[in-house]
Chains A and B, each alone.
Chain A
C-alpha cells in the first residue's frame, strides 16, 4: 500500500528527505513505518496520521499521510 511520509523541522535535514511516497506492506504500523524511514525509535517525536495523533501499534491504511515531527513546544 502507498503511504506518504512527511518529516517536520530538523528531521528533514537529519534523515535526508522532506516528503516521499512509500510502498509498504499491508498491515504496517506507525512504529513499523518509523523503522522503515530509519528514525531512531527513542527520539522524542509526535506521529500523526491524516492530521490526528496515532499510537505506535496503530495499523496504517492505503493513502494515509503520516507526519513525523519533533515535539515542539510552541516557542
Chain B
C-alpha cells in the first residue's frame, strides 16, 4: 500500500508484550493518519468514562503519509489520548525524528496500552521492541533525560520523553523531543507518566513505501530549497513567531495581567526585535528550512528556546517584561515538561485570584522568583498550592470558588493561547469551538477579522472563516502530519499538499476531498465528547466569561469600552453550527454524520447520548 506502511505497532506495558497489526486501504483512505488515525482508534477502543490517567487510557503516536519524507516541514508527529485536562479527545503535534524513524521502522502509528510495573523506556528498532528500565532518569528533567538517551543511542534516533510534570500527572504536562520541541498540551505528558512511560526511542532502517519515490525525492528536495528561499526573501524567521507580539500589542490583542489588559507600554521589551537581538542560536524540526526556534540566554545563563506563545503567556500575561526572566520560566517549563501556555495561564489565574480575594497567597504579577518557585511546586506537586495548580485553572477555580471560574482563562479545561479576545469575536469563537479546548492550532482568524471583515461583526463570514481554517490547520496538517508554517507564514500553496500526497500514495485527490476528511475527523471528536458528556450543551463552546464582562473593558486604546456580548456571540456560534451541520448543542446531526461516512460511529454514540 503506497503512502502508508500499513502497520500499527501495539505495545502493552502491563504485560510487556507487543504486536504488529495491519490496517486496510479503506481505513487509510478514510482517516489518512495523524489525528485521523488517533481519534478513530481512541473512539473505537476506549470505553466512555475511563480515567485518562488510568491504565485504560491509551497513548498514541500517529504519523501521516508524508510524515518523515523529505519535503517542506514534514518532521512532525501527533501524540494523542483521552485528555486529562478536558476529559475529551486530546492531542498535539511536535517536531521529532520519531516521524521519520517510526515510519522507517515500518509503522504509521504506535499505540501504548496498560501501565508498566516500574519506570520504563520503550526502545523500538524496526520490528522489535525492548522494555527497558528508566529508573536512572525517573525524577529527572527532559534535558537530562534526553542526554541520557543520546549517550546511549546517539543523536540520530527519534525520542519522546517527559519530565517531572508528566511523572507527577500535572494535567497540562507535555511530551518533549529534540531538546526544544514540545507537544500535547492537552496533557499527553501526563498520560505517558500515568503509564510510567518515561521515554520512547525509535530507530528505523526500512524504506517508506511510496508510489513515486524518485519523483517525491526530487519535488521534496526542490521545494525545501524553495521554501527556504521564500523565507529568506520575506524575512519571516528574523523574528519568527514573536514578530506578532508587537502587532498584538498595537491592536489590543495581547494577553496582559491574566488577559485583563490588551496592551502594555513595556511590551516592546519582549518583542520580536529584542528576541532577534538576544538570539544565540536557531533551531528547527527535521525537514525544516524556515526554522522558528530562537534561543537566548536566560537569567541563569542557560539556553532557552522562545516563541510567541510562551513569551506572551509567561511574559506580559504575568506582567514580566524581561526576556531573560521569561527565558528562565520557559526553560523551567521545558525541563519539567509543563506546557508553557497553560503554565502561564495557570500562574496568571493564581495571581488574579489572590488580587480578587478568591484565595490567600503571597504571589503576584511581575513576581519572577515566585513564578520560578511555583513552577517547581506544580511540577513536583510538592506543596498544597502546587498540587492545586497542577490540576489546571478550571479545577483550581472550582476549588477557590468566589466566581474565579469567570477569569480562569480556559475552554473545556484547556487554557487559551496568547491571543486576548476581549473584543475579537471570531477568534473567541475559534477558541470556543476548538474541539480539544482553547488551542490556537485549529483556527486563527484575527487578521481576517481586522482586514477582510470588521472587528465588530458577529456575522456568518467569521464562522465560515473559522471552519475554513479548521479544515486546513486542525484538519489537513494534523492528519497528513506536517507543519503548517510554510503555508501560513510564507504563503506556500496548499495545492502542494495534494501533490505530495499523490507522489507518495498514487491517489489523485483535490483539496475538497481533503476537506471532507477534515470534517469527518471533527465530527468524530465531537462524538467523543458526546459519549463522555451526554449532557453536553453549547455552553461548552463559550470562551471565558471575563471577555463578556463590562467591568473588564479597556479604558483607553483601540477597543476602549468594548467587550464581547453574549447574545451576539451565541448567534455567531449558531452560524458555526448551521454551517457545520451540527445541532443546537454543537453535536453533528445524523444527516451530517451520514454525509461524512460516519453514521455507524454515530449509532455507537447513541447508547450514551441522543443524536438529532
- Do A and B make up one complex? yes
Do residues B447 and A6 form an inter-chain contact, with CB atoms below 8 A? Answer: no
Contact, CB under 8 Å: A6 / B440: no
Flag whether B4 is at the interface (Cβ < 8 A). Answer: no
Q: List CB contacts (< 8 Å) of B227-282 with chain A.
A: 234-236, 238-239, 241, 243-244, 246-247, 250-252, 272-273, 276
In Å, the complex CA distance between A69 and B241 comes to: 13
Categorize the interface residue count of chain B.
20 to 34
B252 in contact with A10 (CB, 8 Å): no
Complex contact B455–A74 (CB within 8 A): no
Asked if B197 CB lies within 8 Å of chain A CBs, one says no
Instruction: Answer whether A69 and B558 are a contact pair too, CB < 8 Å, given A51-B252, A52-B455.
Output: no
B559 CB–A CB distance under 8 Å: yes
Most buried by B among A44, A67, A69, A75: A75
Q: How far is the CA of A69 from the CA of B253 in the complex (A)?
A: 14
A71 contacts chain B at the CB level, 8 A cutoff = yes
Contact A53 B450 (CB under 8 A): yes
Complex CA distance for A46 and B251, rounded to whole angstroms: 11
In the complex, chain B residues whose CB is within 8 Å of the CB of A74: 244, 419, 440, 444, 446, 488
Contact between chains at B307 and A75 (CB < 8 Å): yes
Residues of B within 8 A of A72 (CB): 243-244, 247, 447, 489
B458 located at the interface, meaning its Cβ lies under 8 Å from any Cβ of chain A in the complex: no
Question: B243 is contacted by which of A9, A44, A52 (Cβ under 8 Å)?
Answer: A9
Closest to B242 in A: A9
Q: A50-B558, A51-B250, A51-B558 are in contact. Are A8 and B243 (CB under 8 A)?
A: yes
Interface status of B403 (Cβ within 8 A of chain A): no
Q: Give the dominant DSSP class at B's interface.
A: helix
Asked whether B241 lies within 8 Å of A67 as measured between CB atoms, the reply is no
A25 interface contact, C-beta 8 A = no
A8-B250 in contact (CB<8A): yes
B308 on interface, CB distance cutoff 8 Å:
yes
Kindly name the residue among A52, A73, A74 whose own CB sees the greatest number of chain B CB atoms within 10 A: A74
Does A48 lie within 8 Å of B244, measured CB to CB? Answer: no
A14–B235 alpha-carbon span in the complex (Å): 7
Please measure, in the bound complex, the distance between the C-alpha atom of A50 and the C-alpha atom of B556, giving whole angstroms.
11
Whether B491 sits at the interface, judged by CB under 8 Å, is yes
Instruction: Decide: A53 near B451, CB < 8 A? Known: A8-B243, A10-B239, A75-B440.
Output: yes
Is A36 on the interface with B (CB-CB < 8 A)?
Answer: no
Give A49-75 interface residues, CB cut-off 8 Å to B: 50-53, 65, 67, 69-75
Q: Is B309 on the interface with A (CB-CB < 8 A)? A: yes
Given the interface contacts A44-B491, A53-B450, does A10 sit within 8 Å of B244 by beta carbon?
A: no
Does A75 lie within 8 Å of B451, measured CB to CB? Answer: no
Whether, in the assembled complex, A13 has its beta carbon less than 8 Å from a beta carbon of chain B, the answer is yes
- Report if A9-B247 is in contact (Cβ < 8 Å); known contacts: A48-B450, A51-B557: yes
Q: How far is A18 from B273 in the complex, measured between Cα atoms in Å? A: 9
Contact of A51 with B243 in the complex, beta carbons under 8 Å:
no
Q: Quick check: A10 and B558 within 8 Å, CB to CB?
A: no
Q: B427-445 vs A: 1/0 string, CB under 8 Å?
A: 0000000000000100010
CA–CA, A36 and B447, complex, Å: 24
Residues of A within 8 A of B307 (CB): 75
A75 touches B308 (CB 8 A): yes
Given contacts A48-B450, A51-B559, contact A13 B235 (CB under 8 A): yes
**Complex A-B: 7 CB contacts under 8 Å:** A8-B247, A8-B272, A9-B243, A10-B243, A51-B250, A51-B558, A72-B447
Query: Interface on B for A, CB 8 Å cutoff?
Result: 234-236, 238-239, 241, 243-244, 246-247, 250-252, 272-273, 276, 307-309, 419, 440, 444, 446-447, 450-451, 455, 485, 488-489, 491, 557-559
Given contacts A52-B251, A53-B455, A72-B243, 12 further A-B contacts (CB under 8 A): A8-B244, A8-B247, A9-B235, A10-B236, A13-B238, A44-B491, A51-B251, A51-B557, A65-B250, A73-B489, A74-B446, A75-B241
